[in-house]
Structure 1
């Protein structure tokens, strides 16, 4: 997980900002019609940034955020016309056992890591330049789709770091100190989320997006995913506008 997050952090900047950067298979068009979408249990982590800058994970905050994100996913994806199933536990996927789901999660994580390193982290592969996405989960994903009847599978990771009162005070001190020639360490609240969509008929990862928010400004936030409003905002930013692949967009006369 550490290597993946470090690669994805490359899309961030030091000021207050919200950034997304998505890639798609060249022929990808966003799912529409009577498709079946499986969303696996979101991987969520929420922590408090202490005065000293250490992130302390909070299980209660994490569970509140996951519940809000699941509701946001259900509302947003359910409004797109497809048949949506959100598996809040590995054992709840119809037609599949928990170990099979776990294996696909591990496989997808490895592929997501490769995408992050080669698309976002600057470690470009010469054979994949100008190819959009060209990554696959292989026959295991195809077999899973045939067995369960789902057309697509969506993976989502989200993490939020909430600056404590002491940390905000330290940031204020740091900003004030810059005027007299000494800047205390800064860095506070921020979110990182990414999602990948797998076509279970081909096994390919057909769409991938990263959402990064961050601020060095004391007290600035970008929506608290522990609340429903904040989770709705994050999910919309991450999944609200799926862009088609370059060749699909060209064929449809769309501008990228």
Structure 2
């Protein structure tokens, strides 16, 4: 089996890196290393040494210029000590078959880098963004999610209804045009959608859809299925006692099942 080498990027306002690394370890990854973005710039760490990359949640650069916008510019224009553009390392990592998971702020970074959703196979081209919630406030609550069985996403294979916490102020997906939005749906790039807790159906109803995303979009994948970005926090539901219904005997599937699927996928290759 392939060895699963996980890299979790931190720095500049990220605050969920330890939980994300812990989720990878729980899922059976052979290693989970947390490094600062500056370590990549200095050449102390190279993406080519890993096959599972996690961009965790937090508030990159205080969300100045918009959530993860400053970080996206940093990735696009930074160079390593030998003058190589860092974005080339990221592109090479993906082309080599690596898996990428972006959680909350990490999801915001992936869409602003143009790694998601890559409608038409157009990577590193910004097609969507994540904007302010319709409620005009920070949303901190648990949500139900429905996995799209037709999606190519390796993280969500075989899953149906999940529960996870959300905590964000900019989670509403906005496409650059109607054709792009329809492309997400028609190509099954919508991997996860907010669902009503009673019916299990995709919903636009607040607060079950906490931000007003069209089609209840909570997570996107790319055409290969090897990238997943989602606003909910799977790493924050890593033990049954994390769930608010624990004392009432509720035992939903842990959010870390997404990471487990990623680890199994890599090990199977």
- Normalised TM-score (structure 1): 0.29
Structure with greater helix share of residues: 1
More relative contact order in 1 or in 2 (CA 8 Å, sep 6+)?
Answer: 1
- Normalised TM-score (structure 2): 0.28
* Larger CA Rg, structure 1 vs 2: 1
